[in-house]
């Protein structure tokens, strides 16, 4: 198992000492060392836009992809890799419904088939994903292998998560609503918080770790603003190859994440007002459901929605409010939305 860490020394959650020392002021910003005021959030600030880590990631990956998903709201066919991710997440969430002693490999494997049937009842088109029975068998075999790898990474009999599939949100002073789902939140006896996310892909190479951690820092920022406490540890568990990426954030990390998130939102608003959503080809294009519409591959995007559509507003505030509406709310009850881990 590779254990990849940021710049700080990490210890197991059970070994983490209770934070006691007062936080130092951020020398870059001079910001209040006490951190954000959790009470000065959603109830007191007018929301002008909304962003989740996945949509921020879409825009960073390719502005045109963001447009197709958020502005045009084009449907995407289910992909086997994304559906398997949804299935494995569902099994790991359900696993913690079992009494601790029963959270075993056989128990997890037993959950796979009923969870698959539940997903099929919600999304019958998933049954059309496979070209052959052999392809389907291989798909299930890899789902079982991911569950087996999970147990190599940690022992769920020794864990009692505080929350699973936790919806979190906060409103920045700018009016931007940050929101998302956290796979699992662990809280140690001393109050330290660990944010856990399962990935069914493989761990990124070292040069791409910062990108992978952006999502986790985004969640940490939301929790910090919501609760006034910086999570002690961010943990990405890659079930595709059995590796863990861990990072211990501090307040300066989270302030930098806030600045980055607001910069992404400003870029989105600029693209919206200019009606300029450029393609940014990369290896992700091989998995893009909208490649046939992409000018980078000879396609033609549909006309942008106009009157009454998500991008019809003409004022900046209107644009932002439209964007808040345009970011599909189905993301909330169905947090994965069959999005591929990238």
Q: Which residues lie near ligand SF4 (CB under 6 A)?
A: 62, 64-65, 279-281, 284-285, 288, 290-291, 294, 296-297
Pairing, β 243-247 against β 233-238: antiparallel
Cβ(220)–Cβ(260) under 8 Å? Answer: no
Longest dimension (CA), the chain: 61
Residue 21: how many CA atoms within 13 Å on its side-chain side?
4
- Shortest CB 297 distance to ligand SF4, Å: 6
The H or E element that residue 171 is part of is: strand 163-171
Q: Which residue has the tokens 């700080």?
A: 8
**DSSP structural state of residue 30:** -
Residue 111 or 271 with smaller CB distance to ligand SF4: 271
Closest distance to ligand SF4 from the beta carbon of 51 (Å): 19
The residue among 58 and 197 lying less far from ligand SF4, judged by its C-beta, is: 58
- Whichever of 219 and 277 has its CB closer to ligand SF4, that residue is 277
Q: Which of 64/236 has CB closer to ligand SF4?
A: 64
Q: Closer to ligand SF4 by CB, 82 or 178: give it.
A: 82
Closest contact distance (angstroms) between CB of 158 and ligand SF4 is 41
Torsion over CA: 251, 266, 199, 223 (sign): positive
CB of 295 to ligand SF4, least distance (A): 8
Minimum gap (Å) between residue 75 Cβ and ligand SF4: 15
Of the pair 2, 211, the CB lying nearest ligand SF4 is at 211
Contacts of 153 (CB under 8 A, 6+ apart): 1, 237, 239, 242, 244
For 122, other C-beta atoms within 10 Å of its C-beta total: 10
DSSP code string of 80-96: HHHHHHHHHHHHHHHHT
Smallest gap from Cβ 176 to ligand SF4, in A, equals: 24
Task: Answer yes or no: are the C-beta atoms of 195 and 185 closer than 8 Å.
Answer: yes
């Amino acid at each position: 198992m590779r254990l990849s860490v940021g710049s700080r020394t990490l210890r197991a959650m059970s070994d983490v000492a209770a934070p006691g020392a007062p936080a130092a002021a951020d020398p870059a910003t001079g910001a209040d060392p006490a951190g954000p005021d959790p009470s000065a959030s959603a109830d007191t600030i007018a929301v002008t836009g909304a962003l989740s880590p996945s949509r921020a990631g879409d825009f960073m990956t390719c502005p045109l992809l963001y447009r197709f998903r958020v502005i045009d709201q084009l449907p995407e066919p289910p992909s086997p890799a994304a559906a398997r991710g949804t299935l494995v997440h569902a099994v790991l969430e359900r696993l913690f419904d079992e009494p601790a002693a029963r959270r075993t490999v056989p128990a997890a494997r037993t959950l796979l088939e009923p969870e698959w049937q539940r997903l099929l009842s919600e999304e019958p088109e998933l049954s059309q994903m496979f070209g052959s029975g052999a392809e389907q068998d291989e798909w299930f075999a890899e789902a079982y292998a991911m569950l087996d790898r999970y147990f190599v990474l940690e022992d769920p009999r020794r864990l009692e998560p505080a929350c699973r599939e936790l919806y979190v949100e906060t409103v920045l002073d700018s009016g931007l609503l940050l929101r998302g789902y956290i796979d699992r939140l662990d809280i140690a006896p001393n109050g330290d918080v660990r944010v856990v996310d399962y990935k069914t892909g493989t761990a990124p190479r070292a040069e791409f770790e910062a990108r992978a951690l952006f999502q986790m820092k985004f969640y940490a920022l939301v929790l910090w603003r919501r609760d006034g406490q910086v999570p002690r540890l961010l943990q990405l568990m890659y079930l595709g190859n059995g590796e863990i990426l861990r990072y211990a954030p501090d307040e300066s990390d989270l302030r930098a994440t806030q600045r980055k998130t607001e910069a992404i939102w400003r870029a989105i608003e600029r693209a919206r007002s200019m009606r300029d959503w450029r393609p940014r080809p990369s290896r992700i294009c091989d998995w893009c459901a909208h490649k046939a519409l992409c000018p980078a591959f000879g396609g033609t995007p549909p006309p942008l929605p106009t009157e009454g559509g998500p991008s019809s507003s003409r004022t900046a505030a209107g644009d932002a409010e439209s964007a808040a509406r345009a970011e599909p709310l189905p993301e909330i009850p169905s947090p994965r939305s069959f999005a591929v881990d990238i």
